[in-house]
Structure 1
Amino acid sequence: MITAIVLIHTAADRIPEAAQEIADIEGVAEVYSCAGDVDLIAILRVPAHEDLARIIPPKISKVPGVLDTDTHIAFRSFSSADTEGAFAIGVPDAD
């Protein structure tokens, strides 16, 4: 699974509507409205790099109010949570 973080600049009067329209696009896992240098941050999770090409330029960039995007591809995930343990709840150890 490929994870991409898309930083999105939008027109100020379209932030909530743009966020929801982006969140409704297949492949977009989450959209955050935030303070700082960008208006929205979208997290995409897709099976192949080609999927990013079919989502970002033709869909996210065309949402009314979106002014600019900047995409970052994640290559490794770090977490303080034990995600493997969370998914194994109630499942006996295979060892």
Structure 2
Amino acid sequence: MIKAIVMIQVDAASIPETAQAIADVPGVTEVYSCAGDVDLIAIMGVAKHEELADLIPGRISKIPGVVATDTHIAFRSYSRQDTEAAFSIGSEDAD
């Protein structure tokens, strides 16, 4: 699965409604409101890169309240759970 992180600038008066509209789009897995340079961060998961082309400029950018988007495609995932699992491989055989 291809994951994308999309930073979204939104009209400040419509953040809650815009966030919900984005969350309702198929392919969007999470939407966060945040402080900083952007108003919303959306996490998307799709099977093919072409789907991102349809999803972001074709759907997300057209939602009322969306001013701009900046898309980042994830190459690899790192998490504490994944790291701990990798280091524990074979450890139960050491006893």
- TM-score by structure 1 length? 0.85
Report the CA distance between 1:58 and its aligned residue: 1.2
Gapped regions of structure 2 (runs ≥ 5): 86-95
Aligned to 2:45: 45
| Structure with the higher helix share, 1 or 2 | 2
Shift of 1:73: 0.3
Structure 2 CA distance for aligned equivalents of residues 46 and 2 of structure 1: 5
Q: How many residues align?
A: 84
Q: Distance in 2 between matches of 1:30 and 1:13?
A: 21
What's the % identity of the aligned pairs? 67
Alpha-carbon shift at residue 29 of structure 1 (Å): 0.3
Map 1:23-38 → 2, pairs under 5 A: 23-38=23-38
Give the root-mean-square deviation of aligned CA atoms. Answer: 1.2
**Structure 1: which 5+ residue stretches go unaligned?**
86-95
Secondary structure in 2 matching 1:25: coil
Shift of the alpha carbon at 1:82?
4.2
Q: TM-score, normalising length from structure 2?
A: 0.85
Once residues 58 and 3 of structure 2 are traced to their aligned partners in structure 1, the CA distance between those partners, rounded to angstroms, is: 18
1:13 aligned onto 2:1: no
